[in-house]
Amino acid sequence: MFNRCLLVVIATVFSTSLWAQSPAVTSHEISHETSPDLLKQTRQILQLAEYIGVDYSEAVTEGSISNPDEFAEMQQFASIIIEKTNLLANDVPNSLTADALQLQQAIVDKSSLDVIQGLSQKIRNQLLSQSPALVLPTQLLAKENVRQLFIENCSTCHGDLGQGNGPLAKSLSPEPTNFTDQERALNRSLLGLYDAISDGLDGSAMRAFSELNDQQRWSLAFYVGSLAFEPTAITTKHIENDANIELQQWVNSNPTQLIQQNVEIDKAQLTLLRSQPELLFQHADSPISVARTNLQAAVKAYQANELAQAQTLAVSAYLDGFELIENNLDAHDSSLRKSIESQLLNFRNILKTAGQDNQVNQQLTSILAQLDQADTLLTGQSLSNNAMFSAALIILLREGLEALLVIIALMTVLIKTERQDAIKFVHFGWISALATGVLTWWAADNLISISGASRELMEGGAALLAALVLFYVGYWMHSKTQGSKWQSYIKNNVDRHLNTGTLWGLTGLAFISVYREVFETILFYQSLLTQAIGSASSNEQVSYLVYGLLAGMAILAVIAWLMMRYSVKLPLARFFAVSSYFMLILAFILAGKGISALQEAAVISLTPFPIDVSISWLGIASTWQGLGTQMVIVVLFSLLAIRNRTQSLTTH
């Protein structure tokens, strides 16, 4: 029943953002609707101009030719630029041809490197300022996947470490690029690297890797562009592109130009971002970033003696941040997930009391360290196909099973009491809940802001209401399994009790049971799908996610079929007895989950139980509040059952 949810999630995640510049429009501006051939020719000019600026130092030294082959290549590249600019004369600025001729003459004159680089960059700037914005990736592949991609496709020429010393290197002319040469890398843009990977390089052994998809080629470009740079002493915890450079600018310009263009970035920051390009893709709203930011803000509020605000921010750190990647992290390291979750929940208790600055800071440091560990784990490796399948399967079973059991239980009760005509009310309830849940998620994503606390408050309240109704229904069914006149009572009174108001009550229970799960289930699948798309074999990973989803639906369908087939065959007294205990178990589970949700939303206080007795699938959490509520349900049901039994024996 979550097919539509997955389609909505896929449509959202696959939407591509365009990173656009805003150049001044001129009479020669290259149209966004220009032909693919024109764009290809333009990108080749950009690439050749950059190569001249990078490699000229190897051809000419202090006005003399130091490498005849390199010098001949510089002249050849300049001639190709002139040829292509002449072909594009009607589509590029008039000054471009003159600049190309000036560059060619400067090479013939063996001018200084500064002159050559200035002219080559002038040509590039003119084309870049009037070209349509690139469609850039929203996420790079995981590091280990890109490294493997490089070894499989590039190492025979460039070597395993990108030093230009692969097995075929000596037989090639010109020899493959040494990507670890920092002087060269400082003058090489990521766009130039991407174009070389995509289209190859004329006059060299570098071929076009058209068999790779766009994300793979961009990931390779960022990877080889990082090999000449080592991380600096700056910590990576919270920088996340503090220099505020647009990704479009970062891709178009080489590091030397970036420092010249942006006074807010220094060499250390540039080295960090170039060596660890994944930081450029850690958007401000990524779950772990949200958790970090809110935790730090919570501590600042605490230090300012704003304890209520500190509590609110700590709650948001968990619900709007960490909770959204719990399923992904669980598939990698469940113990780390449990540790972070426990620390985040306990952190709120520390923030309740003023004057504990040392303890607060120590706890913050510990949590941030574990969040960094989780971030590294999630960005450094992708889930295996089997893990992706299992995660997708478990999400649906965990989130959907309780709702399904409630729906099937309601339907079997109606069938056993010969009110099949009322089943449509149950169907209306769960179908409308599914549609409303998707609509709520869409509205929260596009129109309004629904915080994690509001989401948990809704889920917790719905769970407790459903638990209360199920407890009542279970007790009522149990009370009718005793006494000699039970069957007569059911036949004579079921129609009277299942009046229009009660039937709409069944609709409400079906609605609540499904709606409380839908919103969160979509968020979990969206997070999982994002990681699948960020892997090297994205199509395969998405396929395994879908397989897991379909397997979960199949298992739920089998459970529904078995319940419907065998429960209706039970004698009416046995059916009511079994169903009453089944309702009690569901009420027990939902009550525990409802209390946990309200604790996560900081509506109910959280007091840890001395020992860990958590059983998530039973809704049991190691808190006094949750265990106490579930114990009340068991004790109360037991007392009522004993009373009914006593009354039945007295009647006999």
- Residue 325: the pLDDT is 79
What is the per-residue pLDDT across 51-66, written as a single tens digit (0 to 9) for each? 888 888 888 988 899 9
SS3 state of residue 400? helix
Q: How many domains does the chain have?
A: 4
* Helix extents (H) in 141-213: 143-153, 155-158, 182-185, 190-199
Is residue 348 a part of any domain in this protein?
Answer: yes
Is residue 525 a part of any domain in this protein?
Answer: yes
- Residue 257: the pLDDT is 81
Distances 463 to 244, 403, 580 between C-alpha atoms, Å: 44, 10, 18
Average pLDDT, the chain: 75
Average pLDDT over residues 531-539: 56
Mean pLDDT check: name the lowest of 140-144, 224-228, 586-590, 644-648: 644-648
Closest CA to 504 of 571, 609, 425, 613: 425
Peptide bond into 174 cis (omega under 30): yes
Is residue 23 a part of any domain in this protein?
Answer: no
What is the per-residue pLDDT across 75-116, written as a single tens digit (0 to 9) for each? 988 888 888 888 776 666 667 888 889 999 999 999 998 899
Do 414 and 358 sit in the same domain of this protein? no
Do 582 and 479 sit in the same domain of this protein? yes
Do 376 and 414 sit in the same domain of this protein? no
What CATH number is attached to the domain comprising 361?
A: 1.20.120
* Alpha carbons 51 and 201: distance in angstroms, whole number: 10
The yes-or-no verdict on residue 262 having pLDDT over 50 is yes
The yes-or-no verdict on residue 422 having pLDDT over 70 is yes
Is residue 50 a part of any domain in this protein?
Answer: yes
Which of the listed ranges 374-388, 513-527, 609-623 does the model predict with the highest average pLDDT?
Answer: 609-623
Do 489 and 602 sit in the same domain of this protein? yes
- Residue 158: the pLDDT is 94
pLDDT band, very low/low/confident/very high, at 222 (cuts 50, 70, 90) = very high
The residue length of the chain stands at 652
* Alpha carbons 600 and 453: distance in angstroms, whole number: 7
**374 and 485 in contact (C-beta within 8 Å)?**
no
Element (DSSP H or E) covering residue 516:
helix 500-533
- Residue 221: the pLDDT is 92
Of the three residues 380, 400, 427, the one that is the final residue of a domain is 380
- Residue 239: the pLDDT is 46
Do 464 and 583 sit in the same domain of this protein? yes
Do 275 and 315 sit in the same domain of this protein? no
Residue reference for tokens 């001639």: 79
- pTM listed for this prediction: 0.47
Tokens for 339, please give them.
Answer: 């540790």
* Greater pLDDT, 389 or 453: 389
Tokens for 558, please give them.
Answer: 């089998």
Do 468 and 419 sit in the same domain of this protein? yes
Of the three residues 264, 281, 298, the one that is the final residue of a domain is 281
Of the three residues 332, 353, 380, the one that is the final residue of a domain is 380
* Alpha carbons 20 and 366: distance in angstroms, whole number: 39
What is the per-residue pLDDT across 4-44, written as a single tens digit (0 to 9) for each? 344 333 333 323 222 223 333 333 344 434 455 677 778 88
pLDDT band, very low/low/confident/very high, at 236 (cuts 50, 70, 90) = very low
Do 519 and 434 sit in the same domain of this protein? yes
> Phi and psi at residue 141, in whole multiples of 5°?
-65, 160
What is the per-residue pLDDT across 356-395, written as a single tens digit (0 to 9) for each? 888 999 999 899 888 888 877 776 555 567 767 877 787 7
Is residue 66 a part of any domain in this protein?
Answer: yes
Cα Rg for the chain, rounded, in angstroms? 32
Do 270 and 358 sit in the same domain of this protein? no
What CATH number is attached to the domain comprising 226?
A: 1.10.760
* Alpha carbons 290 and 523: distance in angstroms, whole number: 15
Domain residue limits at 162: 143-281
The yes-or-no verdict on residue 417 having pLDDT over 50 is yes
Percent of the chain whose pLDDT exceeds 90? 7
- Residue 283: the pLDDT is 56
Do 295 and 270 sit in the same domain of this protein? no
- Residue 21: the pLDDT is 30
Do 457 and 570 sit in the same domain of this protein? yes
The yes-or-no verdict on residue 652 having pLDDT over 70 is no
Closest CA to 15 of 526, 378, 535: 526
pLDDT band, very low/low/confident/very high, at 619 (cuts 50, 70, 90) = confident
Is residue 246 a part of any domain in this protein?
Answer: yes
Do 399 and 423 sit in the same domain of this protein? yes
Is residue 12 a part of any domain in this protein?
Answer: no
